[in-house]
Homo-oligomer: A and B are copies of this chain.
Amino acid sequence: MGRWEPNARGRLEEAALALYGERGYEQVTVAEIAARAGLTERTFFRHYSDKREVLFAGSSLLREVLVKAVAEAPDGAPPVDVVGAALAAAGAVLEERRELARARQAVIDANPSLQEREVVKLATLATAVTEALRDRGIPEPAASLAAQSGIAVFRVAFERWIRETGQRSLPDLVRESFDELRTLTAT
């Protein structure tokens, strides 16, 4: 057994989400989060660059999944389909963490500075997808347009998925929202 309990990051993220949910983001100090995780404030800042970032660590996983899915799409597939498949893959990742995602989103929705960070993270995802598309040889501005529209679709689907008590899976909702965009732009 190590000198320290394992999975410090996991404990920090769990503690932060719980405390932010209980008392609101601004009413929680980093020292409290760290204490709840059995760590010190200094260690928190070694893992996360700031107090918000602890809520957004998962977005790097999402980015990897998106980029990988774009890279591995069949040759010659149209950009729209490539992005659609990538978004469905990302949706599948979140599908298994629905309650977590819901709690996290509630915290973000209650605080403007967290929304600010969320917007940036989404923009980062769009940029990553754009670059992955360009690596497939898709030229601008098609790459940017497809990526940004795709992220917009994902937001819509994600919001429905969070809001509904329903049975539909996130990948299904992504496909559905995507079809709506297709319908719109086909007119």
Interface residues of chain A, those whose CB is within 8 Å of chain B, are 116-117, 119-120, 123, 141, 184
Contacts and interface: CB of A to CB of B under 8 A. Distances in A.
Contacts of A184: 141
Contacts of A141: 184
A177 to B, nearest CB: 11
Secondary structure at the A interface, as helix, strand, loop or mixed, is helix
A53 to B, nearest CB: 12
A117 B120 CA distance: 9
Q: Lowest 3 A-B CB distances belong to which pairs?
A: A116-B120, A119-B120, A119-B119
A79 to B, nearest CB: 14
A54 B120 CA distance: 20
A119 B148 CA distance: 14
A147 to B, nearest CB: 13
Nearest to A156: B141
A123 B120 CA distance: 11
Nearest to A123: B119
